[in-house]
Amino acid sequence: MKESIRVFAPATVANVVCGFDVLGFAVDAPGDEVIMKRKDEPGIIITKITGDDGRLPLDAAKNTVSASVQHYLRDINRTDIGLEIELHKKMPIGSGLGSSSASTVAGLFAVNTLLGNPLTPKELVPFAMKGEELACGFGHADNVAPALLGGFVLIRSYEPLDLIKLPYPESLYCAIVFPDVDVPTRDARQMIRSKVLLKDAVTQWGNVAGLVSGLFMKDIDLIGRSMKDVLVEPVRSILIPDFYILREKAMETGAISFGISGSGPSVFSFAKDAGTAHRITGTIQRHLSSLNIRSLAYVSPVNGEGPKVL
Ligand code: HSE
């Protein structure tokens, strides 16, 4: 059995605008890294966290990585195992890019690989969902499932969990900008209305079906015109400065879509090529600078691979 391992797990864009809690995809960058080492005595300890500005707990019972690894070890009856975990955050926390998911998924993938892969990546998803529950109060799967499986994932149902990997056009590029404003997922979930009008539901499920069809047909225009959200975005967009101006600027720069990544504040666009994606992040960042808001930008194709051993 291997004694130590270093794993990268990717950031993810959950919701994909119209698919609240049911759609997500992974990107090549950014992402988080976990280094895991076997130790002689049973139990899990977190020895180091970098890149978090001291915001994440070192207490193994409270940290999403160790807590989900602990669930996993209990489930496979291997609580005899001892592990030391280092977490290296390479992406902003509370960004809407599945930051806690990337860490949790890296940890679960690392322990499962160390133990000779007793579970498949799909079987790891429920353990990663436990980590999400700890992080934001609800174990949604639209970050952890694509981070574990790579590509686009549809959560057709939560009970029972039914995950469908979707095809996508390889040429699709994602332009992401993280405006440095605070939007905790827990709060961004609480502000959403729990009841919706039937006419809005009709619009929404038409768009979800359109997006899924567009992904299968590799029809970029259909993908773009389906990425509209009448349920969640109208509420959450108020947390993102000049959201609708940013959309206008992105679309003028050649984006095929624009929306909130996960619960925000990151925003993202799809573009037909890398050059256009870079121009879109440039346009958005310039506007945010004019508002005195710092930002980070990432341009990436869809990540079809999921976590990887480094
Ligand atoms: N579907 C979740 C939400 C994703 O929108 O709250 C959180 O990143």
Q: For position 133, what pLDDT does the model report?
A: 86
Q: How far apart are CA 31 and CA 155, in angstroms?
A: 22
Ligand 1 centroid to 262 CA: how many Å? 4
Ligand 1 centroid to 127 CA: how many Å? 17
* Residue 170 dihedral angles phi and psi, to the nearest 5°: -60, -25
- Provide residues with CB under 6 Å of ligand 1: 14-15, 20-21, 96, 98, 140, 142-143, 185, 188-189, 262-263
For a mutational test of ligand 1's pocket, the pick from 23, 136, 142, i.e. the residue with the most ligand atoms closer than 8 A to its C-beta, is 142
For the CA of 15, the closest atom of ligand 1 is 1
For the CA of 12, the closest atom of ligand 1 is 8
Q: For position 1, what pLDDT does the model report?
A: 63
What are 192-201's contacts with CB under 8 Å, separation 24+?
192/20, 192/231, 192/232, 192/235, 192/236, 193/231, 193/235, 196/231, 200/230, 200/231, 201/231
- Predicted TM-score (pTM) of the model is 0.96
Ligand 1 centroid to 96 CA: how many Å? 7
Q: How far apart are CA 266 and CA 119, in angstroms?
A: 32
Q: Which domains does the chain have, with CATH numbers?
A: 4-166 (3.30.230.10), 173-301 (3.30.70.890)
The two structure tokens encoding residue 93? 């926390």
Supply the residue whose CA is at minimum distance from atom 4 of ligand 1.
262
Supply the residue whose CA is at minimum distance from atom 1 of ligand 1.
21
pLDDT of 12-30, one tens digit each? Answer: 999 999 999 999 999 999 9
| pLDDT at residue 52 is higher than 70 | yes
pLDDT of 201-259, one tens digit each? Answer: 999 999 999 999 999 999 999 999 999 999 999 999 999 999 999 999 999 999 999 99
Q: How far apart are CA 138 and CA 1, in angstroms?
A: 35
Ligand 1 centroid to 38 CA: how many Å? 33
Q: For position 20, what pLDDT does the model report?
A: 97
Q: How far apart are CA 265 and CA 93, in angstroms?
A: 11
Ligand 1 centroid to 232 CA: how many Å? 10
Q: How far apart are CA 138 and CA 242, in angstroms?
A: 29
For the CA of 142, the closest atom of ligand 1 is 1
Active-site annotation, residues: 132, 185
